[in-house]
Structure 1
């Protein structure tokens, strides 16, 4: 009879994994935690030569000053409008296109899929001039509609790639069975295919929303009127010509602009992960 193996190495390995995981989570959360700490510090604590991790006297004065100095609420409304518009239009365009590319695996579909992946390698600076000229001809410069159009064009390739993989995961036999039972093409797509594509559609819409919410470069170049600027652009107004003028209000404004993205990912984390993994595995 053999002696039982010692459990100490197994426990040590498990403790090591948990420690590494905790360290990784702290590494990811550190910028947000430091932003929160900075936003709650008084001007005296911010000017201290020995900054503390935790504010000794937490205050919301920085938040009030940030809203008093810049139109953060109006900018947040602009960002929300642009992000929602981008998500809706991207999903409406990408879903039928991805379904066709998934069901008809022709040479043209493969070439389109390859071009979708390659197009993501183009830097912003390379496309901003052609986009600017096109929007100028369409009279969409300094327009939230034009910004939504740009974001849709930029988000559509990745959305197509992800939704195409997800559509391939839907068995065609289910659609054939629905057709045998007498369901028409439209009824089959609405009642059978669309519910199975829901996780991928949700992940695609959330990706487009968060991308548009956080984007800065296109908004800086294309929006000139202060009343149309989005939240990332307004954040730059806290920075003067010689550096950061008020670190506390800037940290408070940056924290408020970050919270919506964090909340969205926290609420629908499983659906986003499922949609991304399904699209990646089947692509």
Structure 2
């Protein structure tokens, strides 16, 4: 409870700082039109997608001329900031739960909630030979025969990638065996850092983290867990809804989706009635 209160207090302080900054930089009423056109599109994005977004925004700016500003962080922290009035225009979350909650609470532009990426999991170790043999078929047996002393995953109770990791371990019949070996990170970023630094021998991380850093691991099929739907929403209070809609459309375009998949996310398609379908690779 104390951690939650401190977390909320820090989020509120961050929002107040942002609002103060925006207010102090406001122009006189005669310059409002010019001010609106020069203000960058404020994009709040989950840390796991930030590197990919930076690549995509280079082409987006060339195509549209729209200036952008990235605010990267944990989806939970950004969620709280939006609820307290943070002046963001669009939010790219690492899950679907928080965008849905913001939509239900009236913080979003109607019909703006979209799935822009599907996360994938991978088993990774920075310790040589600790995951041999690296084959999906032998993975459950290998983990049972030679389990690592500790296995890092994101916290299943608060992190979407952690929830999926728990489901994948259950699917392989390994969850009970690993109960006392788990090191739970606050988010998938912390989990990846723990394994890459060799503080923990092995971990279930985001596949995109491995692709971006030119690392290898064992890709865990999306069929082993519920889809990690990363959704976006446009903030209803935004003054740049048109620009935000252009970014949303751009991220969902075939070209952008191909880029997103190339960075380790799963491919997705939409049926005629807009239901999400995942192209399973296994």
User: Which of the five TM-score ranges fits, normalised by the shorter chain?
Assistant: under 0.3
TM-score by length of 1: 0.26
Bigger Rg, which one: 1
Larger fraction in strand: 2
* Higher RCO (C-alpha under 8 Å, 6+ residues apart): 1
TM-score by length of 2: 0.26
Larger fraction in helix: 1
